[in-house]
Amino acid sequence: MKKITRILLVSLLAFSVLLSACGKKTDFEHASLGGNIPEEYMPGDTGILVSVSLLDDDQFEKARILQDKMDSENSFPMTFAESFNSSFRDLNLDFEKDLVPAFGEQYRMVFGLKSLDENDAILYGVATLADTAKMQSVIDTLVENDELKEKKLSQKDAYVNKSEDFYMAIVKDLLLFSNKPDGLVEMFEQNAKQSLWADDVYKKDIDKIGNDQVAYVAFYPMKLEGSEELPLDSLTMGGDSGAMNSQVLVLRAAENGIAFDGYASMDKEKADDLDASFANVPKEQAYLYKEVPAEDLIVYGESYGLKQTLENGKKVNPENVIYDGLERMVRNYTAMDFEDEVLTFMDKGYALSIHKNSEGVLPGLSIYFDVSGDKDNAEKFVDKLDGQFTGLMTLLEMSLPGAVSKGTAEVNGQELTAIVVDLNAVPRTGPAPLPTALTGEPMKLIYGIVEDRLLVTTANIWEDGGDTLAENSEFKDLKANLEGVDEGMFYLDLNKLVSYYESLEALREQLGLETTGSSQELSDMFENFGPGVAMGDTNDYEIQFKGFLTIKE
């Protein structure tokens, strides 16, 4: 018989209700059926909180629709239920008959941490219960079979697993659990007026989050500064952790996908004292996506003000390795002054994109800059690139005689320079032809200035024209989910990404190279996911983004 470990119990709580039967809910948004609020048992200085909830009727129904779309015999809920039944069949415990009624169909679970330091980390967990008697019956069965043992903590009945790293107790209609006895005792004795629920910053976040969500994750950096393992710089979205009040990521169910909301807020006084507000973050409405081809687009990212971003980073950290590395590279390869001649045309919008090149295996990578701020230096930069690429041609010609040529490509009615590699022109020395993925179409490197845009690309689609991303009907429907945000953009089509990876695996197989089979794993993982998009909005002390990921049947 397998012992009950901490991971099993936490997983049990997190996924036990995904296949459950009908239950009831309270009208009080964040509470249990009996009106008990999980956060009132959490310490006020909780630094990380994860909440999973199906209390909202509308979110519950939409979550069921999404689950039906993604339902398969290999889904995690199905696999987990089978694993549970297999492990505890000898105890006469059944997932659907015993656990599902205990938690109910509409439920809430909250997990909290005050520290991520390995030796000090205490997990605080609370789950709402639909049937406390049923849960007590499950616990009694586990005790009778020596999977759990009873233990008095703060004069209350509690239970601990064999390895003594998971403690739990039923309080009212809540299941409290922790990885340490001190954590459970702290929840037993928590004063509601000093709990997380009474914290002003958390209550402000809760008001913004609302109940129309299935999950959210909240970070409180000022409470976690003592946690050495927490990468605060990455969590604070560029702001100083000493000024950051909170960061929250919210997931909401929609009929055709999952909506994401994220935001971070700063303490105004502290941000001003540290000169660490978002006021210096360059921001502008996204606009280059109106010019980038939509066909075969896998990934697209747009932002604004690379010049300002790099300069701000250099100001915060004079030994900024990214800035210094770019400066050296520009000086070595173009002999141009990075600050006075290159950054001057990088002060507006810029974008990176990856297209699938029809049958070709070379990805269509594009770098696209609005250089209207200093077109003269941008043209000078392109001339320097041309010299470097010409040198690259010489090296390629030595390896691929007759396959490399230099010509032009027409993009939006203007001729740009194109270096072409046509492997069909390479003399055959072996009996087997090269795979069509390598010979189906010439590989191109296209670069130059189109009006006041700098383009460097290996994507042939730029020559073909067609609808831009903004004109694409599927993208229009997707973007309609992002009301109220218009800065920056990140777009990803998971189906096309998997398709491209499959073509790489096929090429490796044709070349007689070892394949991993991971393309099938990726296909299974993302088979129900379509394109997704995210955009943001920034002011001096708050930053927000919204995203939407399509789920298909």
pLDDT at 525 over 80: no
Torsion of CA 300, 303, 307, 313, to 10 degrees: -100
Stronger pLDDT, 499 or 298, i.e. the higher one: 298
Full domain range(s) for residue 512: 280-305+348-551
Nearest one of 487, 537, 494 to 302, comparing CA atoms: 487
Specify whether 393 is located in the same domain as 330.
Answer: no
pLDDT tens for each residue of 330-387: 999 999 999 999 999 999 999 999 999 876 677 899 999 999 999 999 999 999 999 9
The secondary structure of 523-544 as a DSSP string is: HHHHTTEEEEEEEEEE-SSEEE
pLDDT at 234 over 60: no
Q: How far apart are CA 494 and CA 532, in angstroms?
A: 8
Specify whether the CB–CB gap between 80 and 13 falls below 8 A.
no
Specify whether the CB–CB gap between 372 and 346 falls below 8 A.
no
Q: What is the pLDDT of residue 293?
A: 97
Specify whether 178 is located in the same domain as 85.
Answer: yes
Q: What is the pLDDT of residue 550?
A: 93
Residue 535 pairs in a beta bridge with 546
In a domain, residue 24? The reply is yes
Specify whether 215 is located in the same domain as 293.
Answer: no
Q: What is the pLDDT of residue 518?
A: 64
Specify whether 264 is located in the same domain as 316.
Answer: no
In a domain, residue 63? The reply is yes
* pTM beyond cutoff 0.85: no
Q: How far apart are CA 466 and CA 456, in angstroms?
A: 19
Specify whether 225 is located in the same domain as 370.
Answer: no
**How many distinct structural domains can be found in the chain?**
3
In a domain, residue 316? The reply is yes
Q: What is the pLDDT of residue 519?
A: 61
Nearest one of 372, 294, 279, 381 to 340, comparing CA atoms: 381
In a domain, residue 217? The reply is yes
Specify whether 205 is located in the same domain as 105.
Answer: yes
Q: How far apart are CA 28 and CA 470, in angstroms?
A: 42
Q: Is 363 exposed, middle or buried (0-12, 13-18, 19+ CB in 10 A)?
A: middle
Domain boundary among 338, 359, 383: 338
In a domain, residue 242? The reply is yes
Q: In degrees rounded to 5, what are phi and psi of residue 21?
A: -95, 180
Residue 265 pairs in a beta bridge with 246, 542
Specify whether 295 is located in the same domain as 226.
Answer: no
pLDDT at 224 over 70: yes
Q: How far apart are CA 127 and CA 139, in angstroms?
A: 15
In a domain, residue 59? The reply is yes
Specify whether 503 is located in the same domain as 540.
Answer: yes
The bridge status of strand 244-254 relative to strand 257-266 is: antiparallel
pLDDT band at 72 (very low <50, low <70, confident <90, very high): low
pLDDT band at 13 (very low <50, low <70, confident <90, very high): very low
Specify whether the CB–CB gap between 32 and 55 falls below 8 A.
no
Q: What is the pLDDT of residue 77?
A: 57
Q: Where are the beta strands (DSSP E) in 305-360?
A: 349-355
Domain boundary among 213, 245, 268: 268
Specify whether the CB–CB gap between 248 and 205 falls below 8 A.
yes
In a domain, residue 343? The reply is no
Q: What is the pLDDT of residue 16?
A: 40
Q: How far apart are CA 201 and CA 203, in angstroms?
A: 6
pLDDT band at 84 (very low <50, low <70, confident <90, very high): confident
Q: What is the pLDDT of residue 436?
A: 62
Q: How far apart are CA 104 and CA 326, in angstroms?
A: 56
pLDDT at 19 over 50: no
Provide the mean pLDDT of the chain. Answer: 84
Q: Where are the beta strands (DSSP E) in 255-313?
A: 257-266, 297-304
DSSP single-letter state for residue 130: S
pLDDT at 549 over 90: yes
Specify whether 76 is located in the same domain as 211.
Answer: yes
Specify whether 226 is located in the same domain as 286.
Answer: no
In a domain, residue 450? The reply is yes
Specify whether 378 is located in the same domain as 250.
Answer: no
Q: How far apart are CA 538 and CA 285, in angstroms?
A: 11
Specify whether 86 is located in the same domain as 15.
Answer: yes
